[in-house]
Structure 1
Amino acid sequence: MSILAFLASAFLLSLLPAEAARSKYPPKSAILNPIFGPREVSGLLDGSVTVKCFYPQTTVNKHDRKYWCREATRSCHTVVSSNGYVAPGYQGRVAITDFPDQGVFLVNVSGLALADRGSYRCGLGLNNRALSFQVKLDVSEGPNVPEEAELFYVELQGSVTITCSFGQDYASTRKYLCKMEKSGCRNIIDTYGKVDDEYAGRILLSNENTAGSYSIMITQLGWQDAGLYLCGAGVYGESGETKEVDLHVYEGTDVPQGKHTVLGVKGGSVTIECHYDAKGRNSLKYWCKWRKNGCSRIIDSNGFVSDLYEGRVAMYDNPQNNTLTVILNRLADSDSGYYWCMTNENREKKTSKELKIVDGEPSLTGEEEVEASVGSPAQLACSYPCKYYSYEKYWCKWTRNGCTPVEASDQSHAELNVDCDKDNKTILLNFDDVALTDQGWYWCGVKHKGIYGETKAVQLRVSGGELHGESGRGFHAANQTPLPPARREMLPPRPLEEVVLARVPQRRHVTAASPSCSAGPSSLVLALVSVGGVFLILATVFAVYKYRQIKRSDLVSVGSYLTNISMSDFESAKEYGANDNACMKGTQETQIGGD
């Protein structure tokens, strides 16, 4: 029997480390239980403790009974409740205070005695219901009590900011956050740039202004994130200091967040929606790109736009449905990564989205850059596929405060109109008389049932004038990324002869062997001018030569020169590659008057 007892004891001892480590984990029931409080509180003999218990801020919970009870074998005896009850022996030294707007109630126990040690529960409703959290109370004779873990009660898919401070002595020491597990404390993030894969794109570590202080923000919190963490300075288990952080995740109000991964095509666009709580309608909202050492702000609701994203990002806030829409176009491989929708509200959700760039062709096509001179006409074209035929199409002019729709009825620019060529499925934005104030970025896009879809950005450059004032701030040439020259379209005023000839109907036949056919009537004018110039030069040379010959000899008559020199002696212009009309054969020329 002694051998069996020894083996049993050894077996139980082998389980102690595992159980000790497992106690650091919140059990499944605790994750599913919306009530949360400290796992353990400590107080000095004759001193006091304050227990903070959290609950979801629903209407029912706000008005429900809150209580603090002491566990017995098969029940939990009420010590104090929000209904005004106080158990005998606790009058004058226990109180409960509810803060329904914050979703928290406090239990204060004073005059602590050694007999107060034990297990308690804070909860909502009836004592025998599961809506409660177990708290162990320890009373110490002093002189010190252990530091309690800092509690964080966060809604599912919400975010949390943890601040840790270790003083000037640790200003240059490695800072970190680790999560307690069976095998130790798993590193989540540190100041060396290491980030756990499960937290990539949704965690940030930032140094605070005070030396030795830093903050950690985690967003998109899930059930698996609940647990006990340590923030520290130094190396866990070897050097430095640590601080316990107890994080609880609960399922609160249902605020949809949509897909966490968004796919975009090179050269195309993406539309990202972020939902926020109604309480954050008046807060500053911004969109940033996540990096291991911070989140670079791209655009915010106050009109800020990063120079690197000028002309290709816009933000739309819809307070009616608490939705923030961000559109990013002209996508490149460098745009892949994690993006955060954020507000300046500490309790607000911070939404994380991953953008992946894939190969493919954008659905909206057209020129990326158009150039025009002041006073000349210009046209921006945007072609769309059949799948967008029933969608709402629009053109808008981009500014730092959004993209202002351009409509045919816009009286501020009477000669501006938008129409759609249904046959070619092309949306046209026409300028009859371009002004310098028209230069900038224009977007064509589609919408369906009020939801923004794909967009395409086109830059209009205007030359030939001087811009005064601030009306042309929509365009900043110094901040623009140069576009390939092959994608540019020049629209200068046409020459008079081209305008006249363009009115004559012609049948054009373009072949691969005649690449210059696209020149049209201007090729005819160029050929005639070239032949005339050659003839004038030869005539001048002939006159000079003739004059010198006359001076040298009187035996040569003028008539002999007239006899020996004629226009037939000149080579035909066609033998040198010229043509009356390079785009037409003789039988294809248009007859103007007569037979």
Structure 2
Amino acid sequence: MRLFPVLLWILFPGYQAVLVVKGPRAVRGQPGGLVTVRCQYNRGFEALPKFWCGGRTWHCSNGRIVETTGSQAVVKQGRVSIRDNHTQRVFTVTMENLTLADAGTYQCGVLKTGHPDPRNSVKVIVSSGLTKQPDAPSSLNTDLNFSPTAVVNDTRFIILFLLLLLLKGLIFLSIIGATVWVSMLYQSSCREMKPDGQGCWAVTGPWSVCGRPGGSVTVRCRYEKGDEDYSKFWCREATTLETWRCSNGHIVETTWSEAEVKRDRVSIQDNRTRRVFTVTMENLTLADAGTYQCGITRPGLNLRHTVSVIISPGAHTPVLHGERGPQSVACPA
């Protein structure tokens, strides 16, 4: 059983080796004659270059023998030629004037930049015991009943592939869950020891701000030394089960500079000297109330701080029921 396609798929999510390229498992010719190999590929790969090379596994030995240019023109290199038919999605390789040294395992494949190349292995047999037919390939070469590689026909491989797909998803979800859990646990314990939040996380700020309809609120978020050059953002927090991400993207974001950026009624400006970025929401409405995040866009996991925005239409002082119990939040007069 060939496990290389499965392993490559796990390492490279974009890998599509299964059922992308298929062709004969073996072709036979005689010295001085020729063999023709027709390899079929899936829809969507018409414009990609096709190649022929020697090698037993996913690696070509001594490079590609011949390769198309992405068009249907014939390309010939020495005694080997290749031609692609975009309509039938079949490319044809012809080896002429065969010698005994031409016998071996070859690969017909599709060249995909940035991904392992989908390919099919073909064994070329050169035998002097055949009746000489120099002007025509053998019946094996003209067989158009393409069969997928043995790995696709093996039911056990299909089951293994699906199990690995499930395992990959479970591992990914476990990593995300563990990251969120550790983050929330750390912030919760730190807030109990340091009510002001300073030093708890790379981004700190107020837990809540309060404003009135038609008014404005200003949120100042601090960050640590070394994060000056990263962009800063303001967004609505997603559901309680997905607090690590923003809902519907960033509302407003800096451009890696101290210039003010404004989008509709929300603006943001970074002060790198003080390591503070300021978010202002103007012309408030009741619909603006909710949980937001001020954060830093960094490679990997973004750093962020959660802020509750309260809109109070009356003159009374609202009460915020947060992690530290009921808290009175005074709205500006």
Instruction: Provide TM-score, normalisation by structure 2.
Output: 0.43
Q: Which structure would you say has the larger RCO, counting Cα contacts within 8 Å and 6 or more residues apart?
A: 2
Larger Rg over CA atoms = 1
- The alignment's TM-score, normalised by the length of structure 1, stands at 0.27
